[in-house]
Structure 1
């Protein structure tokens, strides 16, 4: 699969074949996304980044993406468009001349 739309279609087909859409309301998708992100974080707890299990990272990251894609579908959001809009917004908040090499928040630059 080469793009978000193909992934979204595959996820929707998977979900629909199992009659799971009834459980996929926006609130529960957002909660599932948060829980999967926490499970991803847990893989790094008390270890260096190099010690984390790459296969488990792959699985948890896939879950994070899957729930985010399904949540975008619930609100009919175009993933490419909303990410590009966010990049544009952040480029205004973090101009290169002030933000390059800095981890400061935009209001501290």
Structure 2
């Protein structure tokens, strides 16, 4: 089921990223390979924020680093949306399909309270 607000948010952000890249003549660099590499770099930066935290510290992320966390999450989301657009993937529809697939692979009655992979249930 399509969430119109989410679809509009994805579309709006994708259009803003397209416009941003075109205004700077960066579209030439935004091919899927380069976008995956940029996305990986941003995930690495997110990883650095959590790298030496205990699980408890990660659950209560330091207030003085919240803005840095928000920036890294936004960078990841924006690169992901740009990559999806360049690869002609409807990200919302892909997420809906993946959630349905995961529900089938991990039925509640088999996996409740377990961290096993679907083929080990």
| Aligned equivalent of 1:23 | 29
User: Aligned-pair distance for 1:51?
Assistant: 4.3
TM-score between both structures, scaled by the size of structure 2: 0.84
User: Aligned-pair distance for 1:54?
Assistant: 1.2
Return 5+ residue gaps in structure 1 as ranges: none
Return 5+ residue gaps in structure 2 as ranges: none
Runs of 4+ more than 6 Å apart: none
Aligned equivalent of 1:66, options 69, 78, 89: 78
Aligned equivalent of 1:76, options 88, 93, 110: 88
Provide the aligned length of Structure 1 versus Structure 2.
109
User: Aligned-pair distance for 1:70?
Assistant: 0.5
CA distance in 2, matches of 1:45, 1:74: 31
CA distance in 2, matches of 1:17, 1:108: 50
CA distance in 2, matches of 1:101, 1:57: 29
CA distance in 2, matches of 1:8, 1:105: 34
CA distance in 1, matches of 2:99, 2:22: 33
User: Aligned-pair distance for 1:5?
Assistant: 0.8
Q: Equivalent residues in 2 for 1:6-45 (5 A)? A: 6-45=12-51
Kindly indicate whether structure 1 or structure 2 has the higher relative contact order, using CA contacts under 8 Å at least 6 residues apart.
2
User: Aligned-pair distance for 1:15?
Assistant: 1.1
